[in-house]
Amino acid sequence: MEPYEIAFQPSVEKDLRKLSAENCDRIMVRIEALANEPFPAPVVKLKGTEGLYRVRVGDYRIIYEIDSDSNRILIHYVRHRRDVYRDL
């Protein structure tokens, strides 16, 4: 299987700048792993949304969408668990 292309919403860069370097590194490793395995074991499909998935990285959540037709993953949000669901 060919790896998925990873794309980011413009707001994700802003989200990542707010994090410590350690947390940012852990999150980027998890995002890069999504390219090879878009449905890792602890992934959860979000209820009430159209095609959004969540992966946990410590206290942070990565919210993303998978487009299998174009072989692409779009990262929507990378935020703390207390804030991430407010904008969905």
Tell me the pLDDT tens digit for each residue of 64-85. 999 989 999 999 999 999 998 8
Pairing verdict, β 72-80 and 5-8: parallel
Give the per-residue pLDDT at 41: 85
Residue 85's pLDDT is what? 84
CATH class belonging to 5-87 = alpha beta
d(CA 59, CA 66): 23
Q: Look over the chain and give the mean of its residue pLDDT values, rounded to a whole number.
A: 93
What pLDDT score does 72 carry? 97
Q: Give yes or no for residue 6 having a pLDDT over 80.
A: yes
- pLDDT above 80 (res 1): no
Strand partners, 44: 54
pTM, to two decimals? 0.91
Q: Kindly list the domain boundaries of the chain, sorted by start residue.
A: 5-87
Question: What's the CA gap between 30 and 64, in Å, rounded?
Answer: 12
